[in-house]
A and B are shown apart, each in its own frame.
Chain A
Amino acid sequence: MRVMTTIQKGLLTAFMVMIGLVLLFPIMITFTNSLMAGQELRINYGVIGKLTDVTSTGAETFINLKWLPDKVTLEQYGELLVHSPYYLLLFWNSVGLVVPIIIGQTVVAALAAYAFAKLKFRGRDSLFLVYLLTMLMPFQVTLVPNYIMADKLGLLHTSGAVILPGVFAAFGVFMLRQFMLHIPYAYIEAAKIDGAGHLRTFLTVILPMVKPGLAALVILLFVDNWNMVEQPLIFIDNPMKQPLSVFLSRLSGEWDTVFAASMLYMSPMVLLFLYAETYFIEGVQLSGIKG
């Protein structure tokens, strides 16, 4: 690769920063707008959803996209946290769906991934291919059978109908297998020579070595399930039991809370990502190295 001059580097950096800003734009605007008072937002964005071109005075109606609040206020947060009990309820609904899925899938997938990565058995590769293919399918293709299954298991309209399929999704198996493939057999053999059985090998050798993989899986699962929309929509009919993801879109137009609600909903995710960014990226990259 050619060596770049400082100016070239600077120009390229500036270009990349601009793209970065475009990508970050929705997040930043959500943040700054969450510090605005509802009144200010109504004035600026009140025309959204109205099919009018001009106001009575003849001026063209457009929203007045604002970066910085006239007055920084935590009004929206106060409104949301103190006066909107539903919000927190739904927030914990989300947590209540995501946490069991993460814990369950991590445990189940680590066990299965060990079998797929380090143990030999007949039909292993075909079974893994089946796992892989289901991972690629959109949720809707098994809508009816899943619904009937949930009904038969008595899970319908409970969070179990969302959590259990989430626990057994193939993604964790796939990702942890990728991580485990990179562990040389020598370690397992060494453990074996020490007289360890499979379970001990798994617990004392494999698990500590795939810690970054587990961390990455937790984050990726968090991202994916925090975002969950389709499953709760179908399986949980009680709006009070649904997670925030389904609900938040109904808030558009509720200027007193909408940005703070979005901000609070994304911030655990964003913070967690920033905290474990290296694991996240490692996890994504590793899952891509061997298709």
Chain B
Amino acid sequence: MMKKWGIFRAPIGLTRWMRRDAAAAWLFLAPSAAGFATFYLIPYVMGLMYSFMSSTTGGRFAGLANYRELLASSSFRKAAYNTFYFSAVSVPLMLALSLGLALLLNRPIYLRKWLRTSYVLPLVVPVASVIIIWQMMFDWNGALNYVLSWSGIKRVDWMKTDAARNVILAVYLWKNVGYNVILFLAGLQQIPKDYYETAQIEGAGRFRQFFGITLVYLTTTTFFVVIMSIINSFKVFRETYLMAGDYPHASIYMLQHYMNNMFVSLDIQKLTAAAALMVCGIMIIVLGLFRLEYRYRQFME
């Protein structure tokens, strides 16, 4: 990087200024870095350390014992599976849905601005405010079962069967679709219009235009959307927690529930081990995605 700057042959004054850059940078960074270290970095390192200890206070190095114990726990395996499963189902669905809506919204239709507003609005509505609505919808006597009864479908106890997954999925989509739609809209608006015109002249069909131009140019956005969707799929814990409490139905028992409950029952070893595993998992996925995007972009160029 510094070499790149050297090429510019900056004036003498500027170089000197640049030399002071690092010092200034650390001054600017100091408040953030200090707080960040205190409340994030050190806790991560501590957490990782604890996961190898037999106890948080005065414990001995226990190697992988905590991890072995953790992996033996069926509730952890269940929670990890649920979390992974939920992300694996919800993220592609979210991608398809938000991309579709963004494409439609990118058309010259009426009320575009209002529609965009209404799609984003769920994002700013506090989770706690609409919990009562979800309960009204998905209760045994709720509105959804009522609608189903019109077509003679038997009632489903949405929150207490495997159907709870679908409920959480619906809530997740409801809340986050607007966010991804505007991300995609931004991506779509960056695609130069004349690309499509050229393609049309060359006789490319709609299909080819979509795959050849739209998707290619949306790659960066898509990666970002995927990452954000994964993160947001973890955040759906809030809704789950507020709707179903500490111990929801087994099908929506997430890693966050597991960790929360381990915290409450003071099983710190399992908790830190689970946290470390989760951090590793997320890091692998995210870094993998970055890598993939990097490769993809190189490949495209």
Contacts and interface: CB of A to CB of B under 8 A. Distances in A.
Interface of A: 1-2, 4, 9-10, 12-13, 15-17, 19-21, 23-27, 29-30, 45, 47-53, 60-63, 65, 107-109, 111-112, 114-116, 119-122, 124, 127, 130-131, 133-149, 153, 164-165, 167-170, 173, 189, 192, 198, 202, 219, 223, 226-227, 229-230, 234, 244-249, 251-252, 258-259, 262-263, 265-266, 269-270, 272-274, 277, 280-281, 284-286, 288-291
A65 B22 contact: no
Contact of A4 (B46, B108, B129, B155): B108
A130 to B, nearest CB: 7
Interface string B99-137: 001001101111100111111111111111111111110
B128 A244 contact: yes
A140 B259 contact: yes
Contact of B127 (A21, A165, A227): A227
A121 B110 contact: no
B125 A114 contact: no
B161 interface: no
B286 A115 contact: no
Contacts of A16: 101, 104-105, 109, 111, 115
B131 A252 contact: yes
B35 A167 contact: yes
Contacts, number: 336
Nearest to B197: A1
Nearest to A64: B146
Interface residues of B, number: 119
A64 to B, nearest CB: 9
B39 interface: yes
Contacts of A127: 33
B22 to A, nearest CB: 4
Contacts of B115: 16-17, 20
A179 B251 CA distance: 41
Contact of A45 (B1, B29, B31, B136): B136
A47 B141 contact: yes
A68 to B, nearest CB: 15
B109, B122, B128, B182: most-surrounded residue (chain A CB, <10 A) = B128
Given A62-B146, A63-B146, A112-B33, A273 B41 contact: no
A63 B139 contact: yes
A247 to B, nearest CB: 8
Given A27-B121, A168-B35, A149 B42 contact: yes
24 contacts: A4-B107, A23-B118, A27-B121, A30-B130, A49-B135, A50-B140, A111-B28, A131-B36, A133-B286, A142-B44, A143-B260, A144-B268, A164-B35, A173-B32, A223-B123, A227-B128, A245-B126, A270-B121, A280-B124, A284-B183, A289-B187, A290-B220, A291-B220, A291-B224
A274 B117 contact: yes
B183 A285 contact: yes
B268 A60 contact: no
B35 A189 contact: no
Contacts of B28: 111-112, 114-115, 119, 198, 202
Given A23-B118, A223-B123, A245 B271 contact: no
